[in-house]
Amino acid sequence: MNEEKSREKVILHLDLDAFFAACEEARRPELRGRPVIVGADPKEGKGRGVVSTCNYEARKFGIHSAMPISWAWKRAPWAVFLPVDMHYYMETSARVMGLAREKFSGSKFEPASIDEITFDVSSLGFEKSGEFAREFKQELKKKEGLTCSIGLAPNPLVAKIASDFQKPDGLTPVKSHEVKMFLFPLPVRKLPGVGPKMEEALKSIGVETIGQLQSFPKEKLSRVFGKYGEHLYAEAHGKDDREIGGEWKAKSISRQATFEEDISSKERILAALDELVNDVLEDVKVSKTKFKTIIVKIRYEDFSTYTKQKKFRSHVLEKDAKIWARELMKGFLKVGRNVRLIGFGVRLEK
Positions in the binding site for ligand TTP (CB under 6 A) = 15-20, 52-53, 65-66, 114-115, 167-168
Q: Is 24 in the site for Mg ion (CB under 5 A)?
A: no
Asked if 261 is an active-site residue, the reply is no
**In the complex, what is the shortest distance from the CB of residue 17 to Mg ion, in angstroms, rounded to a whole number?**
6
Q: What is the x/- site pattern for Mg ion, positions 104-143, by CB under 5 A?
A: -----------x----------------------------
**In the complex, what is the shortest distance from the CB of residue 192 to ligand TTP, in angstroms, rounded to a whole number?**
12
Rounded Cα distance, 144 and 141, in Å = 6
Identify the sign of the CA torsion 133, 93, 167, 193. Answer: negative
**Stretch binding Mg ion (CB under 5 A), from 8-16, 151-159, 174-182, 292-300:** 8-16
Q: Is 25 in the site for Mg ion (CB under 5 A)?
A: no
Q: Which does 66 bind (CB under 5 to 8 A by kind): ligand TTP, Mg ion, none?
A: ligand TTP
Please choose, from the candidates 96, 39, 93, the residue with its C-alpha nearest in 3D space to the C-alpha of residue 68. Answer: 39
State the number of CA atoms in the 13 A half-sphere of 134 facing the CB: 7
**Minimum CB distance to ligand TTP smaller for 122 or for 163:** 163
DSSP 33-65: TS-EEEES--GGGT--SBEEEE-HHHHTTT--T
Single out the catalytic residue among 44, 116, 200, 243. Answer: 116
**CB 209 within 8 Å of CB 189:** no
Helices 227-236 & 218-225, crossing angle to 10 degrees?
140
**In the complex, what is the shortest distance from the CB of residue 1 to ligand TTP, in angstroms, rounded to a whole number?**
34
Q: Which does 211 bind (CB under 5 to 8 A by kind): ligand TTP, Mg ion, none?
A: none
**Minimum CB distance to ligand TTP smaller for 53 or for 122:** 53
Q: Which does 53 bind (CB under 5 to 8 A by kind): Mg ion, ligand TTP, none?
A: ligand TTP
Rounded Cα distance, 288 and 77, in Å = 39
**Minimum CB distance to ligand TTP smaller for 251 or for 322:** 251
Please choose, from the candidates 159, 65, 149, 147, the residue with its C-alpha nearest in 3D space to the C-alpha of residue 110. Answer: 159
Q: What is the DSSP letter of 171?
A: E
**Minimum CB distance to Mg ion smaller for 164 or for 274:** 164
**Minimum CB distance to ligand TTP smaller for 58 or for 333:** 58
**Minimum CB distance to ligand TTP smaller for 66 or for 335:** 66
**Stretch binding Mg ion (CB under 5 A), from 7-15, 36-44, 91-99, 329-337:** 7-15
C-alpha triplet 341, 86, 345: angle, nearest 5°: 45
Indicate the residue type of 262.
Answer: D
**In the complex, what is the shortest distance from the CB of residue 17 to ligand TTP, in angstroms, rounded to a whole number?**
4
| Alpha helical stretches, state H, the chain | 3-6, 19-27, 56-59, 69-75, 86-103, 126-144, 156-163, 179-183, 196-204, 210-214, 218-225, 227-236, 266-287, 318-333
**Stretch binding Mg ion (CB under 5 A), from 12-20, 21-29, 240-248, 277-285:** 12-20
DSSP 99-163: HHHHHTTTSEEEEEETTEEEEE-TTT-HHHHHHHHHHHHHHHHHHHS--EEEEEESSHHHHHHHH
**In the complex, what is the shortest distance from the CB of residue 66 to ligand TTP, in angstroms, rounded to a whole number?**
4
**In the complex, what is the shortest distance from the CB of residue 326 to Mg ion, in angstroms, rounded to a whole number?**
34
**Minimum CB distance to ligand TTP smaller for 116 or for 126:** 116
**In the complex, what is the shortest distance from the CB of residue 85 to Mg ion, in angstroms, rounded to a whole number?**
17
Contacting positions for Mg ion (CB under 5 A) = 15-16, 19, 115
Catalytic residues: 116
